[in-house]
Structure 1
Amino acid sequence: IKNSLKTNCLSKQLNLVFKGSSYLFIAHKMSPSAGKTKELDSKYDEVVVKFVSDVRSGKLQGSYNTAVSTVNLLEQLIGDCQNATAFELCGAVRAVGNRMCRALPQELVAANMVRRVLRAIRDEHSSHANQTGDSLGESLQRLVLAAPARRATLGERADLRGPLRDHIAELRAELESSKSSICSQAREHVHADELLLTYGASGLVEKFLRNAAQRRYRLILAEGSDVAQSHAMASRLASSGVAVTVVDNASVCAVMPRVNKVLVSVRTVLPGGAALGAAGLHALTAAARYYSVPVVVLAPLYKLSPLHQHHCNWLSTPHTAVPYGALAVSEAHVVAPLYDFVPPDHITLFVTNLGGSSPSYIYRLLSELYDSNDHQL
């Protein structure tokens, strides 16, 4: 009996060992996104810490500034990686992205820029492999069947720093022209004698409305969480010749039947056509859907994220919803969401750098911008 028990235990241990070795063999063939995250060098560890501190302290504000700073950091990292393979470059870039995501989970734009650079590395490696003739003469069936093994070719050595600098320069040019590309479409979406409704203060929406000021439309601006910035934006638009009326955010349902179009900006665009916007935006879009008012969302391409809703449940400090001096503070449990989730059926059209896109087309844009292996950093 003892011998049989020992034999059974030994066989179970051998099975575990064989399973572990097979898993290790599969992991060796998987893409860099499936492996362990590479540890950062002390130099770039300090650079990432400074980046995080600048964002948290308010020195670096806005999605555009965050995206540009992330691209500059990654360009410096790639330039210092001498004689690095594509696999090593992906590991270094993913290490930076993983550290940013853990320290700043709400800054999805930084993670999006990391994914764009990872996609550039993969594309450059594929083009280099095609130029060397590694994939010539192969049928489509062989390429599909050999996809897992083909990922291991990221370990081949090729100096990709020059082509990657060109990719990063194109990405930086895209970031710089994103706002102007969207605002150039203002006259296509804003018509004369229309009554528009927007929510809160947004630099992109303000420039978009300024470009359409010749249409002689009317605007209702619902106050956002920062009332002072909302009034300042209304004052600047009024000085540009726009007829602006500022209302409380609780009055959107009362004025919605008279509105022709809702025009807003969001924090992030999610897969499936959903979006994350400022707190209170969901109530506005729900009222617009009830009264069949079209909702147009301005969203540059760098705001498109492959993450889903369950990754984005963040809370703000309670004083943003209830002041500390209020009488109800001692008796109430305050939950202040940082963003509102806007479902895709509340949105009519996304205006991106490439033009108008319906919510059902966002998945196609995501597949063009990011590689599926890099969705999870």
Structure 2
Amino acid sequence: MPPLDSMQELDDKSIENIVRFVTDVRTGKLKGSNKIASASVDLLEQIIIEASNTNALSLINAVRGAGRRLINALPQELVVANMVRRVMRAIRDEQRALINQSSECSGESLQRLVLAAPSRRATLPSHQDMREPIRDHIAELQAELEASTSSICGQAKEHIHADELILTYGASSLVEKFLKACGTKRFKLLLVESPEVNESAAMAARLSAYGINVTLVNGCAVGALMSRVNKVVVGGRATLAGGAVLGEGGLLTITTVAAHFTVPVIVLSPLYKLSPLHSSDHSHFEALAPPYTALPYMTGESGTTQVFAPVYDFVPPDHVTLFITNLSGSSPSYIYRLLSELYDPNDYQI
């Protein structure tokens, strides 16, 4: 992790843009992981375009400085930190490409460049304006974000077959589109209510209007129904290092019952939701919902009971059978490999 005194101070306009972005997320003007991720990339691109110094080190420091401000303001929005890491990886890749090009032009071996002093290696591409090639990387990242939903939904028919009984939990736009991509008469669906009961009922109504056979059930019935279920298909807030899943509160109960009955659990996880954090990093996940979501105020116990309603649940890797990403299906043990392809190890801690 770089020392704090190496961070480049952001200008007033960049700070103003960060404040506007944080306000939009907190007020609900900007909703959905995909939209937040796309807006994060746009914000970082703007910071890079307006940077006064255009060498790799300065741009990485500017992006890291913006990332720290965003993470401090939005610790639960892990996709923001993920996009910061992706942009920093793009800068590092472009820097390596310039170093290789410089070594070929000068006739100096790559081994000597690698063994050279860090200060010398850092100044090799300093005369190059790196903003345009980095913008090309960012354009590819935006295209990936736009295509992530269709890429996952395109795999639906490979995993859900005719006459199967599928169980899902709560309302998820990605799961809804995934199920619709399977067709209308291929399967039956059990939709378990989450704490957001109205959203779960609204999703069930939309799927039913689409022609899918949906039954909305209470969470208390999961234990009795799971033995008949063929697959559990859910979304997640984030996929963590090691293959754990950060999901909506109550998801752990679903996956625990599924593990007891040996029912496969499929998690839909676009690449922008893959985070190098571990489940032990509690500072990012300690969020509590209003107490009334767990115990209504009008009940007799509400006046004498202290209620804690966690927003998130940790699902351990051994509860997950398969992750469906933009690329293909991946087992929980393969997540570490995907993380190494997406992020630079130096950027795991921003």
TM-score (norm. length: structure 2): 0.93
Give the alignment partner of residue 276 of structure 1, picking from 240, 246, 256.
246
Q: Which residue in 1 is equivalent to 2:140? A: 170
Is the Cα contact below 8 Å between 1:83 and 1:157 reproduced in 2? no
Alpha carbons 1:194, 1:218 under 8 Å: kept? yes
Cα distance between partner residues in 2 of 1:314 and 1:251: 28
- CA distance in structure 1 between the partners assigned to 2:5 and 2:336 by the alignment: 26
How many residues are paired up?
A: 346
Q: Tell me, yes or no, if structure 1 residue 87 matches structure 2 residue 60.
A: no
Query: Structure 1 regions of 5+ residues with no counterpart?
Result: 1-30
1:323 aligns with 2:296: yes
Q: Could you tell me how far apart the structure 2 residues matched to 1:154 and 1:326 are?
A: 69
- Residues 83-162 of structure 1 aligned to structure 2 (within 5 Å): 83-133=53-103, 138=109, 152-153=122-123, 156-162=126-132
1:222 maps to which residue?
A: 192
Judge which range, 329-338 or 167-176, deviates more: 329-338
For the 8 Å contact 1:130–1:136, the answer to whether it is kept is no
In structure 1, C-alpha distance between the alignment counterparts of 2:28 and 2:62, rounded to whole Å: 27
Amino acid paired to 2:297 = Y
Matched, 1:197 2:158: no
Distance in 1 separating the partners of 2:6 and 2:299: 48
- Tell me what 1:61 maps to: 31
- The residue that corresponds to 2:312 in the other structure is 339
Counterpart Cα distance in 2 of 1:103 and 1:160: 29
Range 311-320 or range 106-115, more displaced = 311-320
Residue 358 and residue 149 in structure 1: after superposition, are their counterparts in 2 closer, same or farther (change >3 A)? Answer: farther
Pair 1:288 & 2:258 matched: yes
1:364 aligns with 2:337: yes
Check conservation: 2:95, 2:125, Cα contact below 8 A. no
Q: State the alpha-carbon separation in 1 of the partners of residues 3 and 243 from structure 2.
A: 25
Give deviations 1:228-280, integer Å, cap 9, x for gaps.
11111111111122111110012111100000000000000000110100000
Unaligned runs of 5+ in 2: none
* Alpha-carbon displacement from aligned partner over 1:58-94 (angstroms, at most 9, x marks no partner): 1111101110110111111111114422111011101
Structure 2 match to 1:354 = 327
Q: 1:144–1:155: structure 2 CA closer, same or farther, 3 Å change rule?
A: closer
State which structure, 1 or 2, has the greater radius of gyration over its C-alpha atoms. Answer: 1
How far apart in 1 are the matches of 2:343 and 2:124?
Answer: 17
Quick one: which amino acid aligns to residue 39 of structure 1? E
Instruction: Give aligned-pair identity as a percent.
Output: 57
Contact 2:100 2:110 in 1 (8 A): no
The structure carrying a bigger helix percent of its residues is 1
- Contact 2:103/2:110 (<8 A) preserved: no
Given residue 323 of structure 1, which amino acid in structure 2 is its aligned partner?
P
| Aligned residue in 1 for 2:285 | 313
